[in-house]
Amino acid sequence: MSAAPILQIEHLSKQFRGLQAMSDVSFTIPAVSITSIIGPNGAGKSTLFNLITGYLPPTAGGIRFQGQLIGGLPTNRIAERGIARAFQIARPFRDLSVFENVRIGALFGKAGPRDVSATTDRALRLAAIAHLAARPASALTVGQLRHLEVARAIATRADLLLADEPCAGLNPTETAAMIEVLREVRASGVTVVLVEHDMPSVMEVSDRVLVLDAGRLIADGLPQDVAQDEKVIAAYLGSPEADDA
């Protein structure tokens, strides 16, 4: 892809006492793309998101967003730069309406001038929940809550959206709707990086796939190429040698 990188991960490592959760990981994310990060449980996917968003400081290495080092900055400073995260388990203000929840997101986030009403309306439209604007968040289904979580993140006027398993637990109709939302977000000029276990969704929506295993990057490429990579297959299914052992 020819787009300039919006995010650069440079020899990133994270150690928790005796546990090496991430080891010398490097990659770039092109602007206005959809990249999926996959890997078995414990591969380091959540750790990577926590490092990018400032929930954890790196042990070594650098994180550059739009050319500027952000590794180790507090979460609010990173949000002000234009990075937002949509969590798998949504925790909205349940007594507020969908519109009010998204409006709160529009009041915070990226630094600079803002039109709160226009930003709220745009986020509701991109996340395909404008028709639910007056509904209380407590009345939403699991699938609708995922859309609300994406809308709240977009409302911060983010340039980079990190989506944590947006399709997990959704039925086929809900999954298709979420994939369309992610495509609409990209079409609006926002770069999307998602951690996802639903492989059909990954193959359908991704421009590129990164694979982590035991804190190391073992594959990086087009979805169809990664799916046939022997190291990736071994990480998910186990190698014959491991089975024999």
CA–CA distance from 99 to each of 12, 134, 190, 234 (Å)?
A: 38, 6, 21, 45
Domains of the chain by start residue, with CATH: 1-81+198-245 (3.40.50.300)
The CA R_g of the chain, rounded to the nearest whole Å, is 18
Query: What is the band of 167 on the pLDDT scale with cuts at 50, 70, 90?
Result: very high
Q: Tell me the percentage of the chain whose pLDDT exceeds 90.
A: 83
Q: 52-74: per-residue pLDDT in tens?
A: 999 999 999 999 999 999 998 99
Whether 7 and 65 have beta carbons less than 8 Å apart is answered as yes
Whether 102 and 113 have beta carbons less than 8 Å apart is answered as no
The stretch 63-91 carries a mean pLDDT of 94
Q: 100-135: per-residue pLDDT in tens?
A: 999 999 999 998 888 999 999 999 999 999 999 999
Q: What burial class does residue 139 get, using C-beta atoms within 10 Å of its C-beta: 0-12 exposed, 13-18 middle, 19+ buried? A: exposed
pLDDT value at position 239? 56
Tokens for 7, please give them: 């995010």
> What are the DSSP E strand ranges found in 49-182?
60-65, 68-69, 83-86, 160-164
Amino acid at 76: N
Q: Report d(CA 161, CA 159) in Å as an integer.
A: 7
pLDDT beyond 80 at 238 = no
pLDDT beyond 60 at 83 = yes
Q: What is the pTM of this model?
A: 0.92
Q: How far apart are the first and last CA of the chain?
A: 41
pLDDT value at position 198? 87
pLDDT value at position 242? 44
Mean pLDDT of the chain: 93
pLDDT value at position 203? 94
Q: Is 245 helix (H, G, I), strand (E, B) or coil?
A: coil
Query: What is the band of 4 on the pLDDT scale with cuts at 50, 70, 90?
Result: confident
pLDDT value at position 1? 44
pLDDT value at position 237? 63
Query: What is the band of 18 on the pLDDT scale with cuts at 50, 70, 90?
Result: confident
Tokens for 224, please give them: 């169809």
Q: Report d(CA 161, CA 157) in Å as an integer.
A: 10
Q: What residues pair up with 7 in beta bridges, in sequence order?
A: 29, 65
Q: 181-227: per-residue pLDDT in tens?
A: 999 999 999 999 999 988 899 999 999 999 999 999 999 999 999 99
Q: Report d(CA 47, CA 69) in Å as an integer.
A: 18
pLDDT beyond 70 at 243 = no
pLDDT beyond 70 at 245 = no
pLDDT value at position 65? 97
